Chains A and B, each alone.
Chain A
Amino acid sequence: MNDKNPRILLVEDDENDVFLMERALSKANLASPMHVAMNGQEALDYLGGVGKYADRATFPMPKCVFLDLKLPFIHGFDVLEWIRTQPTLGDLQVFVLTSSPEERDRQRARQLGAKAYLVKPPTPELLLETFRGFPQCGPCGGN
């Protein structure tokens, strides 16, 4: 998981969902290096370059974030909101990846600047579709 040049940050606390995400990416041939933050705080630390994440050689700045909403400690929307306040993260694309099909969550995510709203489980078609809209985010891979 700790690829050399992670272009994707997945914020997800459920290992099953992490597995499904990795599987979908791989099936879609989007073998992009991905770092998984297991909770909101870790996501903030990574993006803010806090602690060990200051080492951008090891923990490079991702091009996009797949963000779950229902997270322990810090909610996905809080993360989204924080990202918006960071001037250095202006180019970062955030895609919400959630179990909630709720319209209110969809709207909220859009308001907070999420570029896509994906209902789990992620499928290779869904991911390909998403990246088609944002070619700078990938598929970049190491190739």
Chain B
Amino acid sequence: MSSQLELTREAEQGRLDADALRRSNEELLHFAESSPMPLHTLDADGIVLWANQAELDLLGCTKGDRFGQHVSKFHADPERCAEMLRRIFNHEKLHNFSARLKTGSGQIREVLIDSTLPWEGNGRVCVQCFIRDISAEKLVQDARQFLAAIVESSDDAIITKSLDGVITSWNQGAERLFGYTAGDAIGKSVLMLIPEDRQSEEPNILARLRRGERIEHFETLRRCKDGRLLEISLTISPVRDDTGKIIGASKIARDITERRRADVALRERTRILESLNRVGSTLAGELELEKLVQAVTDAGREISTAEFGAFFYNVKNEKGESYTLYTLSGAPREAFSKFPMPRNTSLFGPTFRGEGVIRIADVLQDPRYGKNSPRHGMPEGHLPVRSYLAVPVISRSGEVIGGLFFGHSKVNVFTEEAEKTITAVAAQAAIGIDNANLYRDLQHELSAHKAAETALRDSEARFRALIDNSFLPIWVKDCDGSYLLINKRYEEVFNRHESEVIGKTDFELQPPEVAKEFRKNDLTVIATGNPLEMEEIGFQSDGQHIYLAVKFPLRKTDGSIYAVAGICTDITDRKRTELELRQTRENLARTNEDLEKRVQERTASLREVIAQMEEFSYSVSHDLRAPVRAMKGYAIATMEDYGSQLDARGRDYLDRIIRSSKRMENLIHDVLTYSRLARTETILQPVSLGKLLQDIIQSYPTLQPPKAEISIHEPLHTVLAHEPSLTQAISNLLSNGVKFVVPGTKPMLQVWTEARDGMVRLWIKDNGIGIKPEYQRRLFGMFERIHQDHGYEGTGIGLAIVRKAAEKMGGSTGVESDGIHGSSFWIELPAANKV
């Protein structure tokens, strides 16, 4: 480049050809301007006179930023810049002066600066500076240094080798691992590290490397300088030159001896833990004692690596007597069955007493072995035991459940680790056995419980069926009023599904005032503990219903009330009917009352009438008779005292007065008799007709001989009659019978009775004048006289009295006559039972 500048100078100085010079100058300027190397011109004050585009690009600035500005403006280190200027203007030609520039955007650029010597041009001292940006190179260099440091300081052995296996580098890690120094190793074959029996590995590795493969975590053995074999893990990568050609390999080796040892320990530990875990879950899950102890024995043998194991454990029978069972592992049961149970020997005793673990490397050498009679050692045929491990199994309550015994025919088999693990297993086993015992007890309880439960369920099912089949709605509510149960009928009646009711209270199902009433009644039942029967009003989809409900408390076994049950009957219809009935009854009662009142009034007025009638009769009997009696009395007295002084006509007149007054007396008598009969209360009693007839005949001389003859045809029936009335009636009939005869004829009467269908008819047949049939109907009327008054005295009332009397006694009367041959009068009355 300096040659180019010299050319420029020559051109200026030569002035040979102005055009050529100008052209040359322009070419130079164009060259400088377009040079990819950043360059600039400084004056003696360090001011940048000019800079090319490459420099402006490097610094990320414009011409304005650079031209006429001090060069230090884009230097990161002012002191370095000052040194540079001092050295330039001290006439030093700089070469590879390192500096750090700061770009317009603040980036730092590592650069190397070259300069010309100061020279005079256009009357001023100038210098040209050339800048090389070495930032990228610097980075690579730094990285390489950094990597080398890493390699050097790495714990891992890092080695490089050529494809023919010659070691080309060797770090401190390699030195530490293998014992050789870098000086020892570089230039030697890697085979020196490979044990004899693994020499074949190397060609293999190299072959793979040549194919460009990377080998990772290849675990192998290597020998170090002192001859020890190391377990190492190798990672081998091909190393390529810039063109990608494989020129060697890097090898990272790590000592994994420790790790391998740890791995083995870990695997062992894992195995034990797995066993323990398996045992643990078996123990936790296995509740059958026999299976459990077998699992414990098997697990113990596995963990301890014993050849055989046994678990002797105590159980109690139902009587509470203790005895010992055992399980075996690794030996058939026959191997032990011929031996008795282990005794409390000095070897076994401590285990059965729970005094701790006994681990013996060689039992034959142990002082406790062979101390007990009679055998002093293992019985003949016993499995050969050298290593011995015995662990007591102790329950939570401190009771020794049994012992785990393990044996091995080799000495020194059982490690401390195994002992610890077996101890843990024993503890687990104890818990398991405790649980199994508990479980067994529980099973007994459970089966009893289950039987009870089944019975209960059955009875509940029956109960449920009963409830569901009930024709009446049934429900159960808890003490808070929530429905616990309803039956099918309830669902039907209230048109609500169980799911809509259960868990709800009446306040969610019924109008508030109804729910309030329900709740009040429920609470009464809860408070009193007594059943309650009441009418309740509830609502169904079709409106208000009335229920007759019986509520009663449900009690727990301790007597406390936990629910209220209810059964109800819909009595809406009944109530309606009742109401209607009541109204009807009330109406009826009112009507009855009215009627009663009317009857009473009527009765009262009737009584009054009767009383008046009686008064009338009384008056008649007293007062009406008195004048007649006086008339008759005076007429008779006149006849007696003065009859002799009268002529025949006078006496006839007096006689007529006397007869008329007598007739008047008779009339009054008969009318009174009739009216008395009509109002007399007739109480019927059995009356013997025979005796009655005799009495009547006795009291009427006209019925007796010689005036009349009455034949009574015995036997006569007994009738039900009112005796005074019957006497009156029969008297009248007999009187009539003897009265109405042809004059001069002696009355002859026949009397008999005839039974007629529950009635008795008394016949009185006379030999009188008879009654023509056409008159017979009128015969029993009042004041009916069918005979003209030619000598037949009569009032016309006698037969009316007979009829009235017969009718009053529930009977009747009548006559049969042809009007010529006498008459047959009869009176019929109810028959008494006796004849």
Contact = CB atoms under 8 A, between A and B. Distances in A.
A101 B637 contact: no
A14 interface: yes
Nearest to A69: B622
A34 B634 CA distance: 21
B669 A100 contact: no
Contacts of A20: 629-630, 633
Interface in A89-143: 98-103, 120-121
A100 B621 contact: yes
Interface residues of A, number: 16
Given A99-B625, A99-B626, A102-B676, A16 B633 contact: yes
Nearest to B624: A99
Contacts of B625: 99, 120
Given A101-B669, A101-B672, A102-B676, A16 B621 contact: no
Contact of A23 (B623, B632, B633, B724): B633
A19 interface: yes
A70 interface: yes
A102 B630 contact: no
B700 interface: no
B494 interface: no
Contacts of A19: 630, 633-634, 637
Interface string B607-619: 0000000000110
Contacts of B622: 69-70, 98-100
Contacts of A103: 676, 724
A89 B637 CA distance: 36
Contacts of B627: 16
A103 B630 CA distance: 23
B664 to A, nearest CB: 13
- Tell me the dominant secondary structure on chain B's binding face: helix
Contacts of B617: 102
A16 B626 contact: yes
A110 B625 CA distance: 23
B669 A16 contact: no
A101 to B, nearest CB: 6
Given A70-B622, A101-B669, A102-B621, A120 B724 contact: no
Nearest to A100: B621
Contacts of B626: 14, 16-17, 99, 120
Nearest to B673: A101
A99 B633 contact: no
Contacts of B672: 101-102
Given A16-B626, A120-B629, A101 B621 contact: yes
Contacts of A99: 621-623, 625-626, 629
Interface string B623-658: 101110110111001000000000000000000000
Nearest to A15: B630
A100 B633 contact: no
A96 to B, nearest CB: 12
- Tell me the dominant secondary structure on chain A's binding face: loop
Interface residues of B, number: 18
B629 A17 contact: yes
Contacts of B637: 19, 23
B791 to A, nearest CB: 25
A16, A17, A19, A98 — most chain B CB neighbours (10 Å): A16
B629 A16 contact: yes
A98 B627 CA distance: 14
B629 A100 contact: no
A20 B628 CA distance: 12
B622, B625, B627, B634 — most chain A CB neighbours (10 Å): B622
A16 B626 CA distance: 8
Nearest to B724: A103
A103 B623 CA distance: 17
A125 to B, nearest CB: 13
Contacts of A121: 629, 632-633
A16 B627 CA distance: 8
Contacts of A100: 618, 621-622
Given A16-B634, A23-B637, A102 B629 contact: no
A69 B627 CA distance: 17
Nearest to A21: B633
Contacts of A102: 617-618, 621, 672, 676
Interface string B668-684: 01001000100000000
A72 to B, nearest CB: 12
Contacts of A16: 626-627, 629-630, 633-634
A99 B625 CA distance: 7
A69 to B, nearest CB: 8
Nearest to B641: A23
A116 B669 CA distance: 21
Nearest to B620: A99
A17 B621 contact: no
A71 to B, nearest CB: 10
Nearest to A27: B640
Nearest to A19: B633
A29 to B, nearest CB: 15
B271 to A, nearest CB: 136
A14 B630 CA distance: 10
A16 B672 CA distance: 23
Interface string A1-24: 000000000000010110110010
A17 to B, nearest CB: 7
B629 to A, nearest CB: 5
A105 to B, nearest CB: 8
Interface in B711-746: 724
A46 B544 CA distance: 88
Contacts of B621: 99-102
A101 B677 CA distance: 13
A62 to B, nearest CB: 24
A112 to B, nearest CB: 17
Contacts of A23: 633, 637
A24 B669 CA distance: 22
A99 B672 CA distance: 12
Interface in B663-719: 669, 672, 676
Given A20-B633, A70-B618, A98-B622, 6 more contacts: A19-B633, A70-B622, A101-B621, A101-B672, A102-B617, A103-B676
28 contacts: A14-B626, A16-B627, A16-B629, A16-B634, A17-B626, A17-B629, A19-B633, A19-B634, A20-B629, A20-B630, A23-B633, A23-B637, A69-B622, A70-B618, A70-B623, A99-B625, A99-B626, A99-B629, A100-B618, A101-B621, A101-B669, A102-B617, A102-B621, A102-B672, A103-B724, A120-B626, A121-B632, A121-B633
Interface of B: 617-618, 621-623, 625-627, 629-630, 632-634, 637, 669, 672, 676, 724
The 6 closest A-B pairs by CB, nearest first: A16-B630, A99-B622, A20-B633, A70-B622, A99-B625, A100-B621
Interface of A: 14, 16-17, 19-20, 23, 69-70, 98-103, 120-121
